[in-house]
Chains A and B, each alone.
Chain A
Amino acid sequence: MPKNNHNSMNKYLIFVLSLLVWGCGQKGQQRLPILGEREPVTKEVDGKTVTDTLYQTIPTFSFINQDSTIVTDKDFDNSIYVADFFFTSCPSICPVMSKNLLKVLNKYQGNEEVKILSHSIDTKYDTPWVLKRYANKLGVKGNQWQFVHGTQRDIYGIADKYMVYAKEDAQAPGGFEHQGWLILVDKEKRIRGAYDGTDDNQVAQLMQDMDILLGEYKGGHEK
């Protein structure tokens, strides 16, 4: 189970759960909630004052993947994607998360609208070469699942933006303390779901929600 020693994450979880409960009551709508912070923006359109909502989004990023190629947010512009934080020598929750992400990959293999982005939090040891070996051994084929390496500052900085807690900690198994969330991001870089990557039921829910999210882009609906 992910270690949950982050208070804000607890509050966030309650928020997510309440949204999920709310979502259950909205049968037939088939839209996912938009998570994270939001702020109203007031602007003038045709002489009228309208208030729009500005949602939290994943900022731009640039990392190096398992093929030593640069991967940026642009590579995810036309896809929904699942993001997580792991490290290859992780003895605790990561193998289960990887196994579950493999299920996601197998379900959406060949679908260019779906990607997976795994960030290594062991920025010293997990070089692109190590990530490549891991991906190969896991049996990952194609380029839908990107394993990325970056500086500690960039990786831990973006973990914050995905609302995932990660920290180097000599006391934790393998040397890192982190949460096992799988974060679902839409094509507009907004967070649409957070799932415990070690829980089979939540991973099944993730895949259901991915179908719903993909459905939102079908038939020319508004974003």
Chain B
Amino acid sequence: MALIASVMNACQGEQEIKKAQFFTNGKSLFATKCANCHGSEGEGLGNLYPPLTDTTFLYTMRKELPCIVKYGLHEELTIENRKFDTEMPANPTLTDQEIAYILTYVGNSFGNDLGFVSTEEVAVHLKNCAATN
């Protein structure tokens, strides 16, 4: 039991380290790719660009987030009870890993608590939305 517990601890520790790495890499990518519109604190801009502080939205849309980042968004959204219909441009050059970095950063900043978003998770969700894009 003690062995299993210590192995699990080690795994958790490893994931925490990975999460911290993704978070740091995501922070700099966010600054160059996202912050212009969404603000450096994820505050958004008026009714033009939505804030990234709606924790419930991020939580329920988790599977869609990689697709939104990669392929952009062309439909109306309701975030924090406000409607947003400005088109979000696609970011086709971002790799799965870079998207995981960004989502780990956004998902664990600005009051959000999404936990670690792995490259594998991003790859799975992107496969599902690639069919519709």
Q: Which A residues form the contact surface with B (CB < 8 A)?
A: 89, 91-96, 98-99, 102, 134, 136-139, 174
Contacts and interface: CB of A to CB of B under 8 A. Distances in A.
Contacts of B37: 91, 95
20 contacts: A89-B87, A92-B36, A94-B36, A95-B36, A95-B37, A95-B48, A95-B49, A96-B36, A98-B45, A98-B48, A99-B39, A136-B47, A137-B46, A137-B48, A137-B86, A138-B46, A138-B47, A138-B48, A139-B47, A174-B89
Interface string B21-40: 00000000000000011010
A93 B46 CA distance: 16
B76 to A, nearest CB: 13
B89 A95 contact: no
Contacts of A102: 46
B70 to A, nearest CB: 15
Given A91-B89, A94-B36, A138-B45, 17 more contacts: A89-B87, A91-B37, A93-B36, A95-B36, A95-B37, A95-B48, A95-B49, A98-B45, A99-B39, A99-B45, A102-B46, A137-B46, A137-B86, A138-B46, A138-B47, A139-B46, A174-B89
Contacts of A99: 39, 45
Contacts of A136: 47
Nearest to B48: A137
B128 to A, nearest CB: 26
Q: Give the one of A92, A94, A95, A174 with max B CB within 10 A.
A: A95
Q: How large is the interface on B (under 10, 10 to 19, 20 to 34, 35 or more residues)?
A: 10 to 19
B68 to A, nearest CB: 15
A137 B36 CA distance: 16
B77 to A, nearest CB: 13
B47 A137 contact: yes
B60 to A, nearest CB: 25
Query: Which 8 residue pairs of A and B lie closest in terms of their CB atoms, listed nearest first?
Result: A137-B47, A139-B46, A137-B48, A138-B46, A95-B37, A91-B89, A95-B36, A137-B46
A118 to B, nearest CB: 14
Interface string B46-86: 11110000000000000000000000000000000000001
Nearest to A96: B36
A124 B86 CA distance: 18
A23 to B, nearest CB: 30
A122 B103 CA distance: 32
Contacts of A92: 36
A160 to B, nearest CB: 26
Contacts of B87: 89
Contacts of B49: 95
A91 B35 CA distance: 10
A91 B47 contact: no
A96 B45 CA distance: 9
Nearest to B35: A96
Give the one of A96, A102, A174 with max B CB within 10 A.
Answer: A96
A220 B36 CA distance: 42
